[in-house]
Structure 1
């Protein structure tokens, strides 16, 4: 009920204000606007006309400035002006004219009043400096006293007034000369008002005695006059110019009041149409104001309902400097804090789950490691124990030396296994730092082959190295040697007797990296039994052996490839193993040195 009361109250208040404002505005327009606008226009004209007259008297304008200032006054005030003697003789009339310097050196001012319907064409065709010929008649009295043009010619271009035909041109008096100045009206109506000014001057002159008496006292004559020809209402202002206490010149101004009536009639029609729109606007604005009051409450209610369902992502977008705005900000703050707490709780739960899974994984790895280590140590320990007991019991005294040799071999095997286990633990913990340097790869391969020569001879194996002669890599030399040693030893153990091992050095082909960022690819391939396809992904795991019975046929600890894998991962190198047609090939990459770029053979 409260929400409806606020809405109804706002609707009633808005409707009353808008209806009252509309009635007041309409009444003012209907009863006051016409008189106000007309009075305002006349007062503005009086002020501007007084300033115009004062400047003329004080600055003593010459003829050229009179015409220029008159043209500007006409354009700014839409008012026609003329300078007249008290007896009605014209001194200066239409300011829109062509100033023509004749061949005799005299200056003729050609009025453009008669060419009112060709002003735009003349403006486009005639410019200062043009040589033209004007034909017309000299009028001896009245406002049009002076040269009245009927025809203007520039080269082949001709302009005629509507008063003559082309056949009358030879009968007119010609004046030829150069255009020194030209003043055009802003629009065609200015020249039409010039015709009304002619009628007004003819009507008012000679002046009545009362008008002359007022002017001789230095006072302005103001009157409203209706043109009998057009029926337009006009205001006439006559400013006297005194010299030596005597009336010397009259400045006659004429301004139409017709625009006021036309504007008022248009406004009547306008407000008749706007009345319908005003009522529609009242309804719309009333609804708008009602929304302004009730919408924030609806918005906050929506947010609260979502918060009740534990959805704290909803945000109120109300921004106001009042109680509703403060309530919306508090609601947003509450929602944000609850959402943050909920997110922190979720992250804590996720971290707890991850920690538990990690702990279980570590426990499982530890169990597997212990089981594998126990299995690997069980056999050599059993052998050592058996032969030691034989020595203790003086069994086969003639084989005593053999027993001691076996015990030493198994002890060395266990020592190697423990060393590899400790090495692998260090690598898995990432506690080893690599000592990078640039070194030739082929030289390192040759050194390792020399160290393994006995192993190769035992199985009658040969090694051939293909590819880059001058390959240079940037890596930890000691660790890379360990990788090559482990992979080569593994390849030797599983190679067929009397076969050949191939080591290939080449540039890793990548199109997404520049040449200086490429890697050297090392491939080691033997000839022998291939690895079952489903076991290829386990080959790099610790204690993995190709034979599932984990027999001791091939020797080794089962940690060599796992150690190689972790060293390569520390170098951010890629590695892989694939079965070939004749055996197995191991691949891995090393970053080539930025100071040396190899070229293939």
Structure 2
């Protein structure tokens, strides 16, 4: 449950952050993008327009220079630009016009045609079939020697500019009212003359005319505003011009000065219509974009939450196992960021903890072993004291009794009493030495020095050493020992083992019977056996005979049973050698055995 809660929290947090970010972005574009874009575009065009006017004022004003300046302005702004002289005549060879000479006064008037040759009026205007020297009647707006035509009439045809009439209406002037009262309006004219110059476009030029048509309309609006005193022609003017309900434009007008006088006017116009269209499209687009982006947000958030949570969950699992002292699992380090560094640190911590705990375990085992040895040593001391007290009690009683007999002069044969006392002292000395030897072996501190030697030679020497006891009982010892058999052991202690076992066999073998003493090759080991004929050992005593002071027949005298420590000493010596040993009953007697390792090659 906890695993899922981490992923779920990260998932909700990521989805929330992405969604809020997208909504802020959407609201920002919806509320501020249009205004921001219009302001930036207006500032950029206005700055480029000022630079154009400044460069134009300081240029030679030849055709090539002006064309380069216009081209640069267009590349910077993608806006339209016109140059008009102080009379409103377009200064560009690509613009169209005609000149007429008034009949009564021979005065020449200039009539710009770009304003009226828009897409809708082109056909009707060209139906006039105008040519140079044609007689025409013109009514329109007069500025110095420039006439903005409202109507043009020949003998057979008449043309009327609806766009100019609409502009007049925008300023509160009704053409139907003033057309018969032109004298009352100083800026209106009704004249008659003949054409002296004529520059008309071809049909292929119609596209260019329509492109500048909007700008010419804006120029006319500005001229009317100047005539009515609503605009100052000596200052940089920026105003909005709307052709219809759907098309908006921003217009820039600046006079071109020379020696403090106005020489011409520069007009620039940039359309704001793409902004409106783009915003309308964006509003519909965002509806579909939000659905798509929200789906992407869900996928990315789920992937992101799983990607972040996965190493955290792995860290949780590994640390949980570490808390249970399981250091087998390690974290994968697949990155070099903080999580990768944390994983690496946890792995290092796991290794260090495992190492420290292992060392503590080993130290604890060593302490337990030392405590065990200490307890065993203490037990050995107590058993030694208890055993030696028990074993010394009888000989001390004998010595005391015989010493009192000598003192009381019970018998004149004091030699007998003295021999008994000396014999008991020897027995006590032997007992004490064996007890000390056993205590040393049981203490766990005794270290053996191993050397290679011939086990055959050792058996022969022990047989020779105990030959007196063997002959006294008329025993026959069969020695089976190859002198070439070499073992790796402590020679003195193994000799003590053989002496103890052979002595034990001599004591328990009936007079005149046989004893077998042999050593046999068993591959990497040598097996030594001591077999004597006689009564078998009771089954319940086979394991107990190795205990100290244990005698099979408690009624046996100490003279025939020994001290009771020989087999116990033998057991500890063989255990120090890590040598297998044991005792078995056979049909005709008892067999003791032990096995010793051969030396390794090169020893």
Give the TM-score, by structure 2 length.
Answer: 0.45
Give the TM-score, by structure 1 length.
Answer: 0.46
